Amino acid sequence: MFHDPDFTPFTPRETPSFLAVSRNYLENYAPEAYRTDFFSAKGLWPFFPRMHYVVSPELIEELLVTRADAFRRDDIASKALRGPVEGETLFFSEGAEWKWQRRAISPAFRYENILALVPFFVRCAQAQAAEWRRLDDGATVEITEAMSRTTFAVIEKAVFGASENFDGERFIAALRPVLGSFAWRMLAVMFRLPPDWTPYPGLLAARAGSRFVHEATAKLLAERRARKEETRDILGLLLSAKDPESGRVMTDAELVANLHGFLLAGHETSAVALAWTFWLLAKDQASQQRAREEAERVAGDGEVTPETVENLVFTRQVLQESMRLFPPFAALGRQPREDTTLGPYRVAAKEPVYVLTWCLHRHEKLWDDPTGFDPDRFAPEQAKARHRYAYLPFGAGPRICVGMGFALTEMATIVATLLREFRFETVPGHRLELAPTFAMRPKGALPLRLTRLSRETPVTRTERQIPA
Ligand code: HEM
């Protein structure tokens, strides 16, 4: 078990504060949230709807799994995210519309399709390694930025194959103000103001960014349609997706919305999860060395492959423990379709219910020493002894993350590839502050010091294409 004061980066407030909502809304969950099962709050102001918070695995199972049909996405997040995330996407669809989209999209994320992408995951990690190789030993890097570039390269290639006309750097730069606007948009919605028109810092940049990413995604789709070739990347699989019951295929609006959603959610979540993972390993050098030795064993003189990636067992445990302490999504929201109950509690239709993943993952009754870092919590025996819904970085039930297998395989490959070549250390004097918006981001930078180890990541032996 490894401890560090940065693993408890703020003190929960006894009474909620308006300022904390835009700074770090997690501060507003009182100490009680880490001990109880369920609590309700009137919101910060009398005219806010009453909100309910769930931190019990049994109630979570009821909400997300056994009675999932009785709830839809919560109104606050839906209104705040719609615009930056497009309406026709799987993420926002409900009922029969959601069922058909999920059926159409799921095959693209089948395990054999994900494994076929492992060489690309390696290549993207190697491109990052090549950049770092140019730095002096002991240089400081901003790990969140570096991982954003790496995971964006991954998702871009996995989704679209290659496109010469796509400017990934510009796309990421345009996304930054969009992602940064979420906390303000939530606040606007909570005040019943229109999030697209309420002034907040960075509104114009967020609007321009949103427009740019939408247009760039639509252009990519048009380009692919013009080329008329069949490919096995995610777009290719979506283009050929057909509902087995109705024969329906995806419209261009649905395709653009989902591609845009994958580019946005698929890279930001994995980027922050990887950044926290390297930062935690920089704190806990013993776990870093153990993961490095595993990577050496698994990859030998070559690289991680579709056949060996499964053997990165400890690396996956590290990733799971990292997403426990710093879950990329700190909360999941639902809205009852009508007045109902959850366990013994009454919940009105207008009252949203939130699963507080951050508090659940640090719950005093569910975890020994909840703020310590210990990847062995996820060793099979220990994991089996826990309630299945005590840990949910990817959600649960029918709406569980469709990209979960993709993200876990991608992240394990990237961690193993980079650990073999670099040692990661923390920068003295840096103190962590959180600034969660769309995902669990640190405030400002998350700096790490890099030292190059003697071995070099081997260059990919063959220039592979996405398997046809
Ligand atoms: C570490 C990486 C990731 C994390 C932690 C994560 C987390 C989540 C969570 C918690 C949900 C459920 C939301 C809810 O129930 O309200 C979700 C849904 C979703 N995720 Fe992920 N995700 C990750 C990576 C990805 C990737 C790589 C993709 C796609 C390329 C993706 C696409 C989606 C989609 C489309 C949904 C909506 C599914 C539905 O509503 O049926 N995610 N994700």
Residue of the CA atom closest to atom 41 of ligand 1? 399
Distance between Cα 140 and ligand 1 center (Å): 31
Question: For residue 439, which of 53, 85, 42 has the smallest C-alpha distance?
Answer: 85
**Are the CB atoms for 343 and 58 separated by under 8 Å?**
yes
- Alpha carbons 10 and 26: distance in angstroms, whole number: 9
Q: Would you state the pLDDT for residue 163?
A: 67
**Are the CB atoms for 39 and 53 separated by under 8 Å?**
yes
Give the tokens for residue 200.
């907040």
Phi then psi for residue 336, to 5 deg, are: -65, 140
Q: Would you state the pLDDT for residue 16?
A: 80
- Alpha carbons 311 and 239: distance in angstroms, whole number: 33
Tokens 């993709």 — which residue? 406
**Are the CB atoms for 451 and 216 separated by under 8 Å?**
no
Tokens 């494994």 — which residue? 115
Q: Would you state the pLDDT for residue 459?
A: 43
Give the tokens for residue 103.
């059926």
Residue of the CA atom closest to atom 13 of ligand 1? 395
Residue of the CA atom closest to atom 16 of ligand 1? 332
Question: For residue 222, which of 248, 259, 252 has the smallest C-alpha distance?
Answer: 252
Q: Would you state the pLDDT for residue 434?
A: 95
Q: Would you state the pLDDT for residue 463?
A: 37
**Are the CB atoms for 278 and 143 separated by under 8 Å?**
yes
Q: Compute and round to an integer the Cα radius of gyration of the chain.
A: 22
**Are the CB atoms for 447 and 441 separated by under 8 Å?**
no
Report domain extents, the chain.
5-451
- Alpha carbons 326 and 280: distance in angstroms, whole number: 10
Distance between Cα 269 and ligand 1 center (Å): 8
Provide CB contacts within 8 A for 288, sequence distance 6+: 281, 282, 419, 423, 424
Pocket test for ligand 1, best of 63, 102, 258, 269 (most atoms within 8 A of CB): 269
Distance between Cα 364 and ligand 1 center (Å): 26
CA distances from 49 to 188, 190, 340, 379 (A): 14, 8, 16, 41
Tokens 């699989």 — which residue? 237
Distance between Cα 329 and ligand 1 center (Å): 9
Question: What is the torsional sign of CA 301, 306, 307, 309?
Answer: positive
**Are the CB atoms for 429 and 316 separated by under 8 Å?**
no
DSSP 8-state symbol, 340: E
Distance between Cα 403 and ligand 1 center (Å): 6
Q: Would you state the pLDDT for residue 432?
A: 96
Atom of ligand 1 nearest to the CA of 234: 30
**Burial per residue of 83-118, b for 16 or more beta-carbon CB atoms within 10 angstroms, e otherwise:** bbbbebbbbbbeeeebebbeebbeebbeeebbbbbb
> Which protein residues are within 6 Å of ligand 1, measured from CB?
90-91, 102, 155, 261-262, 265-266, 269-270, 273, 328-329, 332, 393-395, 399, 401-403, 406-407
Q: For residue 285, how many other CB atoms are within 10 A of its CB?
A: 14
Distance between Cα 410 and ligand 1 center (Å): 14
Averages of pLDDT over runs of 10 residues in the chain (468 residues) are: 94 85 88 96 70 97 98 89 76 88 87 92 96 95 96 88 76 85 81 82 86 88 82 82 81 88 88 98 98 96 96 98 97 97 96 97 97 97 95 97 96 98 96 91 94 64 36
Q: Would you state the pLDDT for residue 355?
A: 98
Residue of the CA atom closest to atom 23 of ligand 1? 269
Distance between Cα 272 and ligand 1 center (Å): 13
**Are the CB atoms for 33 and 53 separated by under 8 Å?**
yes
Distance between Cα 401 and ligand 1 center (Å): 4
Atom of ligand 1 nearest to the CA of 158: 30
Neighbour-count burial of 287, counting CB atoms closer than 10 A to its CB (0-12 exposed, 13-18 middle, 19+ buried): buried
Neighbour-count burial of 194, counting CB atoms closer than 10 A to its CB (0-12 exposed, 13-18 middle, 19+ buried): exposed
Beta bridge partners of 354: 53, 333
Q: Would you state the pLDDT for residue 424?
A: 98
Question: For residue 460, which of 158, 122, 121 has the smallest C-alpha distance?
Answer: 122
At the topology level, CATH places domain 5-451 in Cytochrome p450 (1.10.630)
Atom of ligand 1 nearest to the CA of 407: 27
The DSSP annotation for 165-183 comes to T--HHHHHHHHHHHHHTHH
H/E element, 419: helix 404-419
Pocket test for ligand 1, best of 323, 325, 401 (most atoms within 8 A of CB): 401
DSSP 8-state symbol, 96: H
Residue of the CA atom closest to atom 6 of ligand 1? 394
Phi then psi for residue 93, to 5 deg, are: -75, 160
What 3-state class would DSSP assign to 451?
strand
Distance between Cα 399 and ligand 1 center (Å): 8
Rama region for 363: left / alpha / beta (φ>0; ψ in -120 to 50; rest): beta
**Are the CB atoms for 331 and 356 separated by under 8 Å?**
yes
Question: For residue 183, which of 390, 26, 363, 25 has the smallest C-alpha distance?
Answer: 25
Give the tokens for residue 140.
């400081």
Question: For residue 148, which of 119, 174, 109 has the smallest C-alpha distance?
Answer: 174
Distance between Cα 180 and ligand 1 center (Å): 18
Atom of ligand 1 nearest to the CA of 101: 41
Atom of ligand 1 nearest to the CA of 323: 5
Distance between Cα 458 and ligand 1 center (Å): 32
DSSP 8-state symbol, 222: H
Side chain identity at 217, as an amino acid letter? Answer: T
Give the tokens for residue 32.
């009680």
HSE-CB of 113 using CA atoms within 13 angstroms: 20
What are the pLDDT digits (tens) for 409-453? 999 999 999 999 999 999 999 999 999 988 999 999 899 999 999
